[in-house]
Amino acid sequence: MPVTKRGADKPRRIVISLGGLTSSSMLSHQLELIHAVAPELLHAIDVNAEVILTHGNGPQIHMAQRAFAVASTEDPTVPPIDLPECGAMTQGYIGYHLQQTLAAEMHKAGKHWHVATVITQIEVDADDPSFGNPTKAIGPRLTKRQADSLMEQDASFKFVKDGEGYRRVVASPRPRRIVESESILNLLDNDFVVIACGGGGIPVVRDSDDLGCYVGVPAVIEKDAAAGLLGDDCDADEFIFLTDVDGAAVNWGKEGQRFLGDITVPEIHAYMKAGEFGSGTMEPKVRAALRFLEQRPDRVVRIGNVRNAAAVVRGEAGTCIHY
C-alpha cells in the first residue's frame, strides 16, 4: 500500500462533504438542519483528529443573486451582483452557521478546537466546454411561467425541464486548482477544523494581463468535484459524502432499489458505467470517489445520510467504497 505523504504517525485526515442539509435557502430551516446534524458531526470530529468540511450552496447562490436583482429594481443604491460574489457571500454565511453551531457543540463537550472558514477560490479553464453548455441546476424547481418570467428579466438565465418543473442551469467548469490551498493546509496543521471550498469554491480564471491575478467567472463548480480536489491537496485518508439518502443505490427510484453497503472500486465502477447513479446528484459523488481511490488505493470513501453522520463515519452505515 502506498504510504501517505504526511507520514504514518500523522492523525487521520478526513474530508467531509456536507450535502442534503443545505438543501433549503430559508435561513431558519438551514440553521435548524445544521443544529440537528452538529452533534453527529462533532462525533465525527472526535474520532478523527483532522477534519475538513465542505458544503453545497445551490439553493442559496440563486437566492442571493435574485435578492439583489429584485432589490436593485426598487432601490438605485442596491446593485445587481454576479455569481462569483454570490458564491463568496454564501460561503461566508453558511460557514458562519457551521462555525457557530460546531463551536457551541464543542463548548458543551468541553473541547477547545478552533473552527475557521476559508473563502475559497478555485481556478478553472477559461475555455472549459461547460461555459457553452450549462448543466448545473441551482435554485428551486419553478413553473414554466416563473422560468419564462425570469428569463425575460435576465437574458443570461437558462432553464431546463426537470420532472414537472424547470430548474435554472449554469456552467459548471471542472475545478483545476484550489487557490487558497496553503491557507487550508496551514490551518489544518494548527489543529483547526476547516470549512473550505463551500459551494464548490468560487470559480476564477487567471487574468490574461497578469498571471498572478484571478477574476471570477459566472459559474458554479460541482461541490463533489471540488471536494475531490480538496481531498488531494490535503492528502486526506478518507472522504465522506453526507447527503439526504442512506447511500448509493442501484435501481434508484425503481422496483428492486437497494442501497449498496461495502463495495469495491471495480464493482461500483461497473454500476456507474451502467448509469445507475443520477447525473448531477449521485454520479458526481461516485466519480469523485473513484478518482480519490485511484490516486491512493489505501483510502476509503463513504456515502451516507447526514442525519446519521456519526454512524457513517464509524463505518456502521452507508456505502463504503474501497479497493
Binding site for ligand ADP (CB under 6 A): 19-20, 56, 243-245, 248-249, 252, 276-278, 281-282
By C-beta, is 204 or 306 nearer to ligand ADP? 306
CB 162, CB 136: distance < 8 Å: no
The dihedral formed by the CA atoms of 121, 127, 132 and 138, expressed in degrees to the nearest 10: -10
Nearer to ligand ADP by C-beta: 113 or 271? 271
Residue (143 or 257) nearer to ligand ADP, CB? 257
- CB 270 to ligand ADP: min, Å: 13
Number of H helices, E strands in the chain: 9, 17
Strand positions, DSSP E, 251-323? 258-259, 262-264, 300-305, 319-322
State in angstroms the smallest separation of the CB of 56 from ligand ADP.
5
- CB-wise, 78 or 310, nearer to ligand ADP? 310
> Smallest distance from the beta carbon of 197 to ligand ADP, in angstroms?
13
Measuring CA to CA, how many Å separate 18 from each of 140, 263, 280, 316? 19, 22, 15, 18
Residue number closest to ligand ADP, CB atom: 19
- Of the pair 205, 247, the CB lying nearest ligand ADP is at 247
d(CA 251, CA 79): 47
Sign of the C-alpha dihedral computed for residues 259, 265, 267 and 273 taken in this order? positive
**Given the complex with ligand ADP, which of 39 and 278 has the nearer CB atom?**
278
Contact 20, 40 (CB under 8 A): no
Least separation in angstroms between residue 135's CB and ligand ADP is: 13
The whole-angstrom separation of Cα 301 and Cα 58 is 23
Q: Tell me the closest approach of the beta carbon of residue 245 to ligand ADP, in angstroms.
A: 4
Report d(CA 196, CA 175) in Å as an integer: 14
What's the closest the beta carbon of residue 282 comes to ligand ADP, in angstroms? Answer: 4
